[in-house]
Amino acid sequence: MTDTTNGDNVAQAKSAPADRATTGPLDDSEANAVRPYVDLGGIKLLPREGLQLRLEVEEGSKRVVAVGLDYAGSSLQVQPFAAPRSTGLWHEIRQQIAEQIAKQGGTTKLTAGTFGPELLAEIPATGGGQAGSKRLARFIGVDGPRWFLRGVIAGDAVVDQEASAKIEDLFRSIVVVRGSTPMPPRDLIPLQMPRTGTGGGPAGSASAG
């Protein structure tokens, strides 16, 4: 993983596993073109048994803003963003996530994970839960070539090692399709309803919500 000791450089350094280009998450240029990916626009993923797919849609614009994946008793929300060619976003975004959660009355802990630094968060639950209850989540991120992929893990994979390995393998299998269109850093790479590639079936159920 790339990192430096200088504070300014750390904020801009790319954060990714040393073997990212071979084990994922992959750039579209690194992926096997004949594999049966499900095409979601900004990302592609391989269908697998037991994987349920949800698209999270912005109410006003009807724009797809995130992909939710339910698998192995856990959930993984993923979002691909445009990023500079030579610098990364995860170190800076991670700090901003920690600040936002603190404002909500939650706590975060910086840990070292499979993909590099990640945040283990306790977030106050909202809605119909008991007063004072909290939910656990892991925030992970990988800087790729001209893109940044963020993941939020909830469910068994936050606390169970076997479930965690399955969700991390799912995150690794994602292919980011940055495209050639110029985009400001941090802009969400456009997502779309699923289209299945060569020879593949659906990745479970697809629903917008």
Q: Please write the tens of the pLDDT for every residue from 39-61.
A: 999 999 999 999 999 999 999 99
Residue 208 pLDDT > 60, yes or no? no
Residue 2 pLDDT > 60, yes or no? no
Q: How far apart are CA 147 and CA 162, in angstroms?
A: 29
Torsion sign over Cα 108, 110, 46, 43: positive
| In a domain? residue 119 | yes
Six-digit token string for 9: 């450089």
| In a domain? residue 115 | yes
CB atoms within 10 A of CB 102: 12
| In a domain? residue 158 | yes
Number of domains comprising the chain: 1
- Beta bridge partners of residue 149, listed in sequence order: 80, 142
Q: Band of the pLDDT at 1, cuts 50, 70, 90?
A: very low
Q: What is the pTM of this model?
A: 0.87
* Domain assignment of residue 149, given as a range: 7-208
> Looking at residue 209, what is its pLDDT?
40
| In a domain? residue 65 | yes
In Å, how far from its chain's centre is CA 135? 18
| In a domain? residue 1 | no
Six-digit token string for 152: 């939020």
> Looking at residue 80, what is its pLDDT?
98
